[in-house]
Chains A and B, each alone.
Chain A
Amino acid sequence: MENLGEFILYAVIAIGKGALVTIIVTVASLILGFLLGVPLSIGRTYGNRFVRFIIQLYEGFFRGTPHIVTLFIFYFGLRHIGEVFGNPSFQIAIPPFPAAVLALGITSSAYQSLIFRSTLQSISRDQYNAARSLGMSKWEAILNIVFIQALRLSIPGLTNEATIVLKDSPITYLVAIPEMLTQARGIIDSAMGKVFFEVLIPVSLLYYLLFWLSNKLFLMLDDRLKIPGFELERR
């Protein structure tokens, strides 16, 4: 009985740590995705033909490639990049955590770019013209007036994107990031595979709890930043 108590305590602590890592990986990836997604969406909407084409390729590639493949490219692929150029001693070795955040963050940036682009396009051209008529430059008008409104309208889309990144985060298990799934796997292995359900059910409930929390936070943000009469159609 004492053994069982110790085992449960060990399992709870391990999964708790894993949950924390899951949160960190998710938040870091979302932030990276945001920092890249904002300029991408603006370039895709307002850039010249060349810029738009490049961004379109980027978006297409990272939306069209399975996340696991992207992760493997960043983690394993770059280590072997020298071999491609006939110089095996050259390698780009990214540690697991940055590689995981890069893979999830860059993938998310492609989706976030799409979210911002659709809201940017929903802002009436009159808003831009009014800003220009006051003497703002093209970029001042885009950033001060158009993008800030688009950002406000993007919160529902970002709510969804946050939960998607959260649920993609377990793939970092494959590069040994100690997130929840990795920890769960460790517990199951240490019990010699006897406690699959006992571990995976609480873990899946924990994912659900994080999902719920993330939604709640974004809804609060949406409410807090509410501008009377200015929102996407709600049904």
Chain B
Amino acid sequence: MGNEIVLTVKDVIKNFGTNRVLDGISFDVKKGEVVVIIGPSGTGKSTLLRCINQLTPPDEGRVWLGEREITDKHTNINHIRQDIGFVFQHFALFNHLTALGNVEVGLYKVKKMSKEEARKKAIDELERVGLKDHMEKYPAELSGGQQQRVGIARALAMDPQIMLFDEPTSALDPELTGEVLTVMKDLAEAGMTMVVVSHEIGFARSVGHRIIFMEEGHIVEQGDPEMILKSAKKDRTREFLHKITELYGG
């Protein structure tokens, strides 16, 4: 992990109606760093990820990818999103395209690669997530774990500077969770910068560089996984961790 800052989030506020979902969130992520965001549901973790790539534009606050301000009105958002990989909780694979089609569509429609070039790169990406043999299958013909790996390959194919994971395994059977986490672990080891919203404490401990604990739109506490998991300063963090360790195991 270097010292170069890839992502900066500053004082982000988001309201849904009268409900303040994010109440001034600030943090930054270094190149190669894996940040795991945990916290009870409904505390704005997913909204925070969506505020980063502007799928949900924040009401206030600013976000930078490297030197480029994402929240600046003059920034071409379609351009900058190519550099931010996003993995969805419910996979969101394009239903009318095969696994291969899902991965290559961004390459030729957005990056304007030739079809052959796009196909070649897409096959490489599917190989990387272990799905080359399934590339002609449609989403409905794949298991949840396979679908999510295609989702990861689709995001990776764009050669992003950072990958955002929105609860990537919470829609999966426990049995299928492992294959997705393995892919994510490999990715982290290859030096990818990642922000992961997840309840997978095991993953946070073994792969994460930092855990951020969020509640009610605030960052309650953050730090090194060992520190947070073993000796969190705040009672609320310990209480929450105790609960999910009971549920999901350490």
Residues of A within 8 A of B (CB): 124, 126-127, 129-137, 140, 144-145, 148-149, 152, 227-230
Contacts and interface: CB of A to CB of B under 8 A. Distances in A.
A226 to B, nearest CB: 10
Given A130-B92, A133-B155, A135-B78, 17 more contacts: A126-B92, A127-B95, A129-B92, A130-B154, A132-B55, A132-B78, A133-B53, A134-B110, A135-B81, A135-B106, A135-B111, A149-B94, A152-B96, A228-B137, A228-B138, A229-B139, A230-B95
B94 A229 contact: no
Nearest to A145: B94
15 contacts: A127-B95, A133-B81, A133-B86, A134-B81, A135-B79, A135-B111, A135-B158, A140-B109, A149-B95, A227-B95, A228-B138, A228-B140, A229-B141, A230-B95, A230-B96
B64 interface: no
B109 A230 contact: no
A230 B158 contact: no
Interface residues of B, number: 29
- List the 7 closest pairs (A to B, CB-CB), nearest first: A229-B140, A134-B106, A135-B82, A126-B92, A133-B86, A130-B92, A135-B110
Contact of B109 (A126, A133, A136, A152): A136
Contacts of B93: 130
Given A227-B138, A228-B141, A230-B138, A136 B110 contact: yes
Contacts of B81: 132-135
A136 B88 CA distance: 16
B96 to A, nearest CB: 5
A148 B106 contact: no
B90 interface: yes
A37 to B, nearest CB: 20
Interface in B9-65: 53, 55
A229 B140 CA distance: 5
B92 A227 contact: no
Nearest to B86: A133
B84 interface: yes
Nearest to A129: B55
A149 B96 contact: yes
Contacts of B95: 127, 149, 227, 229-230
A140 B82 CA distance: 14
Contacts of B110: 134-136, 140
Interface of B: 53, 55, 78-79, 81-82, 84-86, 88, 90, 92-96, 105-106, 109-111, 137-141, 154-155, 158
A129 B88 contact: yes
A39 B142 CA distance: 34
A89 B227 CA distance: 90
B88 A227 contact: no
Contacts of A124: 92
A231 B78 CA distance: 30
A144 B101 CA distance: 12
Contacts of B53: 133
Given A144-B105, A228-B141, A134 B92 contact: no
B160 to A, nearest CB: 10
A41 to B, nearest CB: 17
A145 B90 CA distance: 17
A133 B84 contact: yes
Contacts of B155: 133-134
A229 B91 CA distance: 15
Contact of B158 (A131, A134, A148): A134
B78 A136 contact: yes
Contact of B94 (A131, A137, A228): A131
A199 to B, nearest CB: 47
B92, B93, B111, B138 — most chain A CB neighbours (10 Å): B92
Contacts of B138: 227-230
B121 to A, nearest CB: 14
A127 B106 contact: no
Contacts of A228: 137-138, 140-141
Contacts of A152: 96
Contacts of B141: 228-229
Contacts of A136: 78, 106, 109-110
